Amino acid sequence: MSSRPAPTASTTPADDASERLGLVMRAVSLRHGNAAETVQALDDVDLTVRPGELAAVVGPSGAGKSSLLAVAGGLARPDHGTVTVAGQDMTVPSRRTRTELRRRHVGFVFQSGNLLPALTAADQLRLPLQLGPRSQRSGRDPLKLLADVGMADKADRRPHQLSGGERQRVGIARALVTEPSVLLVDEPTAALDRARSHEIVQLLAREARHRSVAVVMVTHDHDVLQYCDTVYEMVDGKLAASS
């Protein structure tokens, strides 16, 4: 673990400006299902992730980890509670507004990299810049960013010409190219061997710090927690700082 400030107690109010630039979730609850059968996916969750912080969320299958990422990124609206990213309310009713906020402030990284098969690594990064809001189109330079993640010499390759770890690097670079405030990462090492897993999480930690991104990483991989600033455990929809 780094020598960063101790994890925010999950009940700490968002009382300083730097917190507000990252991710702040307060008293967030989310139920799935219908009147006959409901699941409390998130139960009164508080979470603060500051810019530059890599926070891990561990917990058993079905505990609510994916639901947490979905709500943090404005993909799902909670039943109760508040969620802000870079000070912006991610729970507004308008789906279109949430999509815009997400494009502007949030990056997602998925298990397998989720790359488009037809595009080269460089074009995977150019696409979000072309799709994003006009103000964001500058973003980071795709080729420089690929070099930063160790992929300078493979910018012209398509996903099937890359290894799993390389695809994951491109997926991370693609999520960072629009300079998000918050990066939401779902099981980034699930398809990788031990050495590649360590490299990928070290890369996430480095980018979080150098670029002041608040990163939330869901993982089952306890081996990589050493690179994280804070570790939370989710059980039955409840989130607690891990001891």
Ligand X SMILES: Nc1ncnc2c1ncn2[C@@H]1O[C@H](COP(=O)(O)OP(=O)(O)OP(=O)(O)O)[C@@H](O)[C@H]1O
Given the complex with ligand X, which of 41 and 192 has the nearer CB atom?
Answer: 41
Given the complex with ligand X, which of 65 and 105 has the nearer CB atom?
Answer: 65
Given the complex with ligand X, which of 27 and 39 has the nearer CB atom?
Answer: 39
Which residue shows structure tokens 């099981």? 187
The sign of the CA dihedral 207, 203, 106, 50 is negative
Q: How far is the CB of 235 from ligand X (least distance, A)?
A: 9
Q: How far is the CB of 188 from ligand X (least distance, A)?
A: 13
Interface with ligand X (CB under 6 A)? 32-33, 39, 41, 59, 61-67
Q: How far is the CB of 105 from ligand X (least distance, A)?
A: 22
Given the complex with ligand X, which of 40 and 212 has the nearer CB atom?
Answer: 40
Given the complex with ligand X, which of 67 and 197 has the nearer CB atom?
Answer: 67
